[in-house]
């Protein structure tokens, strides 16, 4: 029986080159496909972060508007307290103004509660690297620095407010302040206290009154500056919103 042997011809350099190129392109295309998928996933994450940041910034704008109105109430009340205290004699209307204004400066919530959800995620997950627009990254950084500066100012206000509370406890009958949002203080209760004690105040020492005015003026001065800082922060938020909206529109 005749046996046929297959003859294997050596491959030419062209065949080797062709196989190499096919393998190279297969690996390259696989790499590029994986890179593209990762790139698209990161762009989706960037898009989600920016949308979330927009929501936080818009919430901050509303929060600042609300708290600025409270701060204006406090500053106005502080001015009324000073006007009344330095009068030679106080009418019942002046006394009512003093008590009503004193209730305002200790009851209004003025600290601004900024949204932190998105910025916390960006920090904890290393998400800042996903934001390609450097202008947005710089604006976010500047906005966060503004928050830190405002917190320092807020701490100073709280310290001054504690002085106001202490002097009020030496001067006013705090028990007449009500929890009723429709009125500042209970005038009938104050009248009853006057009938029982002979005075609507805890002391007749004018120096205590003047000291009270000083503490109130210092506190409201710090609050007025805090309000100016809040308005500057609003401007930063609006500029950042415009940048993000422009980026998302691309």
pLDDT for 250 = 79
Closest Cα partner for 55 from 247, 237, 198, 250? 237
What is the tens place of the pLDDT at every residue in 153-210? 999 999 999 999 999 999 999 999 877 656 678 999 999 999 999 999 999 999 999 9
Greater model confidence, 12 or 230: 230
pLDDT at 178: 79
Determine what percent of the chain is predicted with pLDDT higher than 90.
69
pLDDT score for 4 = 53
Question: 62-75 burial, b if ≥16 CB within 10 A, otherwise e?
Answer: ebbeebbebbebbb
Query: Is residue 217 helix, strand or coil?
Result: helix
With residue 12 as reference, give the H or E element that holds it.
none
> For residues 102 and 176, is the Cβ–Cβ distance under 8 A?
no
pLDDT at 129: 83
Please give the pLDDT value at position 198. 93
pLDDT (tens digit, 9 = 90+) per residue, 11-60? 666 666 666 767 766 666 666 556 555 656 567 888 889 999 999 999 99
């Amino acid at each position: 029986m005749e046996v046929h042997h297959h003859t294997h011809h050596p491959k030419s350099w062209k065949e080797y080159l062709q196989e190499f190129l096919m393998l190279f392109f297969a690996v390259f295309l696989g790499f590029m496909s994986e890179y593209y998928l990762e790139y698209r996933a990161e762009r989706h994450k960037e898009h989600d972060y920016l949308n979330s940041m927009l929501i936080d910034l818009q919430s901050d704008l509303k929060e600042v508007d609300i708290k600025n109105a409270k701060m204006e109430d406090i500053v106005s009340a502080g001015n009324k307290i000073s006007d009344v205290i330095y009068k030679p004699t106080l009418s019942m209307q002046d006394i009512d103004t003093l008590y009503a204004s004193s209730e305002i400066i200790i009851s209004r919530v003025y600290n601004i509660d900024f949204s932190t959800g998105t910025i916390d995620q960006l920090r904890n997950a290393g998400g800042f690297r996903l934001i390609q627009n450097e202008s947005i990254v710089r604006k976010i950084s500047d906005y966060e620095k503004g928050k830190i500066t405002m917190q320092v100012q807020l701490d100073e206000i709280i310290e001054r407010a504690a002085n106001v509370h202490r002097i009020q406890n030496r001067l006013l009958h705090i028990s007449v302040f009500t929890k009723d949002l429709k009125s500042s203080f209970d005038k009938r209760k104050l009248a009853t206290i006057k009938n029982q004690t002979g005075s609507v105040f805890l002391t007749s020492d004018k120096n205590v009154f003047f000291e009270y005015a000083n503490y109130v003026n210092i506190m409201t001065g710090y609050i007025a500056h805090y309000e100016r800082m809040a308005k500057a922060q609003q401007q930063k938020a609006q500029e950042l919103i415009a940048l993000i909206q422009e980026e998302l529109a691309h």
